[in-house]
Chains A and B, each alone.
Chain A
Amino acid sequence: MAEVRCPMCGKPNPAELEECQFCGARLKPLVAPPSQEESPPSGPEPDVPAEPAGEPADWLSGFREEEEADREDAAQPADFGEEEPELPRKAPPRGGIQERLARAGGIEPEPAGESAPDEGAAFDEDWSVDERAFDDEDLGEAELPDWLVSMRSGEESPVEAEAGKSPEEPEQDEKSDYVDRWSPPEEEAEVSPEASEIDVPEWMQGLEEERAESEPKAGPGELPDWLKQPAADLPEPEPGADPWSAGEEQAERPSWEEQTPDWLADLSAGPHPDDAGEAGFSASELQDEAEDLPDWLDDFAESPSEAEDYFPPQQPEEPEEEPGLPLELPEEAGEMPDWLADIAPGQQEVGGTGPFEGELELDEPEGVAPFTAGDEESPDWLGGISEEDLAGLEGGFDEVPDWLSDLKSRPIEPEAGSGMVGSPREAGEGEGEGYESELPGWFDEETEAEGLSEMEVEPGLTPATLPSWLEAMRPVEDAAPAPPIEDETEDHVESAGPLSGLRGVLPAEPEVARLRKPPTYSSRLQVTETQESQAEILRNLLKSESRSRPIPTPPLISSQHVLRWVIAAVLILAILLPLVGVGGAAPLPTFTSETAQANRIIRDLPPDSRVLIGFDYEPGLSGEMDAVADAVIDHLILRGALLTLVSSSPTGPVVAERFMSTTQADHNYTAGTQYINLGYVPGGRTGLLSFAESPQRTLPYTLRGATAWGTGADPALAPVQGIDALSDFDMLMVITDNPDTARAWIEQVQPVLVADDSQTPLVMAVSAQAEPMVRPYYHESAGQVQGLVVGLRGAAAYSNLTGRVNLPGAYWGAFGIGSAVAAAVILVASIVAIASSLIAPRQKRAPEEAA
Chain B
Amino acid sequence: MRAPFSAVIAISLGIIVLLGYFVPIGPLTSLRIVLLDWAVILAGVALIVGVVNLFYVHWKKTSEGNTESLYSGVLVFALLITLVLVGWFGPTHTFSLWIFNYIQVPVESSLMAMLAITLAYASARLLRRRIDLLSGVFLATTLVVLLATAPLFGIEIPGLGELRDWIAQVPATAGARGILLGVALGVVATGLRVLMGADRPYGG
Contacts and interface: CB of A to CB of B under 8 A. Distances in A.
Real complex partners, A and B?
A: yes
A836 B131 CA distance: 11
Contacts of A677: 92
A826 B143 contact: yes
A837 B131 contact: yes
A775 B177 CA distance: 9
A671 B36 contact: no
A820 B139 CA distance: 14
A653 B180 contact: no
A90 B197 CA distance: 108
Interface stretch (A236-244, A317-325, A766-774): A766-774
B151 A812 contact: yes
A651 B177 CA distance: 29
A650 B161 CA distance: 37
Given A681-B40, A813-B151, A817-B153, A772 B173 contact: yes
Interface stretch (B1-9, B62-70, B73-81, B101-109): B101-109
A220 interface: no
Interface of B: 32-33, 36-37, 39-44, 47, 90-92, 96-97, 100-101, 104-105, 107-109, 111-112, 116-117, 120-121, 123-128, 131, 139, 142-143, 146-147, 149-154, 161, 165, 168-169, 172-173, 175-177, 179-180
B53 to A, nearest CB: 15
A621 interface: yes
A683 B43 contact: yes
A589 interface: yes
A326 B187 CA distance: 131
B176 A623 contact: no
B109 A662 contact: no
A576 interface: no
Given A586-B151, A658-B101, A837-B131, A697 B109 contact: no
A621 B117 CA distance: 15
A505 to B, nearest CB: 80
B2 to A, nearest CB: 24
B161 to A, nearest CB: 8
A657 B92 CA distance: 7
Given A587-B154, A618-B108, A620-B109, A693 B36 contact: yes
B168 A704 contact: no
Given A662-B101, A704-B92, A776 B40 contact: no
Nearest to B106: A619
A503 interface: no
Given A619-B105, A658-B101, A823-B142, 19 more contacts: A564-B117, A620-B109, A622-B108, A622-B109, A650-B47, A651-B104, A654-B92, A654-B97, A661-B97, A682-B43, A693-B32, A703-B92, A791-B149, A816-B151, A817-B153, A822-B146, A823-B146, A826-B123, A833-B126
Contacts of A773: 176, 179-180
Interface in A660-689: 661-662, 671, 677, 679, 681-684, 686-687, 689
B128 to A, nearest CB: 4
B201 to A, nearest CB: 14
Contacts of A686: 36, 39-40, 43
B43 A687 contact: yes
Contacts of A768: 149
Contact of B125 (A622, A689, A694, A829): A829
A810 interface: no
Contacts of B33: 690, 693-694, 697
Contacts of B161: 589
A834 interface: yes
A694 B32 CA distance: 11
A677 B96 CA distance: 15
Given A622-B109, A658-B105, A776-B173, A829 B127 contact: yes
A232 interface: no
Nearest to B173: A775
A212 interface: no
A784 B121 CA distance: 38
B36 A690 contact: yes
A815 interface: yes
B92 A620 contact: no
A315 to B, nearest CB: 129
A352 interface: no
Contacts of B123: 822, 826, 829-830
B184 to A, nearest CB: 9
Contact of A775 (B41, B143, B146, B176): B176
A836 B128 contact: yes
Interface string A763-796: 0000010011101100000000000000101000
Given A693-B32, A837-B131, A826 B149 contact: no
Contact of A690 (B37, B147, B154, B173): B37
A639 interface: no
A793 B161 CA distance: 11
Nearest to B20: A693
A772 B168 contact: yes
A8 interface: no
Given A619-B100, A619-B105, A820 B40 contact: no
Contacts of B107: 620
28 contacts: A560-B125, A563-B124, A589-B151, A619-B109, A621-B109, A654-B100, A657-B97, A658-B97, A662-B101, A681-B40, A682-B44, A682-B47, A686-B39, A690-B39, A698-B36, A775-B173, A775-B176, A776-B176, A817-B150, A818-B116, A820-B153, A823-B142, A825-B120, A826-B126, A830-B123, A833-B126, A834-B131, A837-B131
A837 B143 CA distance: 21
Contact of A654 (B32, B41, B96, B131): B96
Interface string A290-309: 00000000000000000000
A567 B39 contact: no
Pairs A-B, 8 closest by C-beta atoms: A620-B108, A819-B150, A829-B124, A683-B43, A816-B151, A833-B127, A690-B36, A586-B151
Contacts of B39: 683, 686-687, 690
B5 to A, nearest CB: 22
Contacts of A682: 40-41, 43-44, 47
A571 interface: yes
B203 to A, nearest CB: 19
A91 B5 CA distance: 110
Contacts of B146: 819-820, 822-823, 826
A830 B127 contact: yes
Contacts of B104: 619, 651
A583 interface: yes
Contacts of A793: 149-150
A826 B142 contact: yes
Nearest to A822: B120
A821 to B, nearest CB: 9
A670 B176 CA distance: 40
Contacts of A651: 100, 104
Contacts of A694: 33, 36-37
Nearest to A687: B40
A414 B31 CA distance: 129
Interface in A553-591: 560, 563-564, 567-568, 571, 583, 586-587, 589
